[in-house]
Amino acid sequence: MRDLIITENITLDGVIDAAEGWFMPAGDEDTDQSDVIAALAEQREAADAFLTGRLTFEQMRGFWPRQTDDETGVSDYLNRVQKYVVSATLEDPGWEPTTILRGLDDVRALKGRHGADIVVTGSLTLVPDLIAAGVVDEYRLFVHPVVLGRGQRLFQDATDVPRLELVEARSFASGIVLMRYRPL
């Protein structure tokens, strides 16, 4: 069975909602983020599937395919990786290769197929559903040294989160810390 990995950029107070403008993709900030970019490349190399909810998918589809000078490798990866979008309404993804999944049963079936990691990012509606369904195998949290005090949090309404075991903590020159947790 494949691992389903939630990867989020997150503030110190647990906010994953980037609407306040606190988060810039790696490589877009003034500080050297070569070590963060390398960590993201490691994650890409271990995954052959990218899963999102519809809104995150549409935002990414409107941004990443148009990036011609992306030195981080994210654009190339997203343009070629098999993408899966969970949506009850989307008919034509408009960004290949993409498969539309209609719900959590389809996500469970995807996990049961042979392959490498499935990475989920963003997806503020889908992620809580995945957590509640108990299908998350790992959380990779890129913790930014920012406190917002408001915004959607990763575990905002999650009452069924199992105990988590820290499997890695890695700090970066920018002050970002990667925290990896797996359910016990």
Look at residue 29 in the predicted model and tell me its pLDDT: 54
The string over 38-63, giving b where at least 16 C-beta atoms fall within 10 Å of a residue's C-beta and e elsewhere, is ebbeebbeebebbbbbbebbbebbee
- Report residue 98's pLDDT band, with 50, 70 and 90 as the boundaries: very high
Look at residue 157 in the predicted model and tell me its pLDDT: 74
Q: Which region holds residue 94: left if phi is over 0, alpha if psi is between -120 and 50, else beta?
A: left
Look at residue 40 in the predicted model and tell me its pLDDT: 92
Closest CA to 31 of 139, 179, 145, 141: 145
Please, are residues 61 and 75 in contact by the beta-carbon 8 Å criterion? no
Look at residue 26 in the predicted model and tell me its pLDDT: 56
pLDDT digits (tens, 9 = 90+) for 101-145: 999 999 999 999 999 999 999 999 999 999 999 999 999 999 999
Q: Model-level pTM?
A: 0.92
Quick one: how far is CA 14 from the chain centroid? 15
Please, are residues 153 and 15 in contact by the beta-carbon 8 Å criterion? yes
Per domain, the residue ranges of the chain are 4-183
Rounded to 5°, angle at Cα 111 from 177 and 88: 95
Judge if the upstream peptide bond of residue 183 is cis by omega within 30 degrees of 0: no
Look at residue 34 in the predicted model and tell me its pLDDT: 87
Residue 146 CA to residue 176 CA, distance in Å, equals 9
The residue ranking higher by pLDDT, 156 or 74, is 74
Look at residue 129 in the predicted model and tell me its pLDDT: 93
Look at residue 118 in the predicted model and tell me its pLDDT: 98
Average pLDDT over residues 157-163: 76
The residue ranking higher by pLDDT, 25 or 184, is 184
Percent of the chain with pLDDT over 70: 95
pLDDT digits (tens, 9 = 90+) for 4-56: 999 999 999 999 988 777 876 655 555 678 899 899 999 999 999 999 999 99
For 4-183, CATH number out of 3.40.50.300, 1.25.40.340, 3.40.430.10, 1.20.1050.10 equals 3.40.430.10
Least confident stretch, 70-84, 102-116, 158-172: 158-172
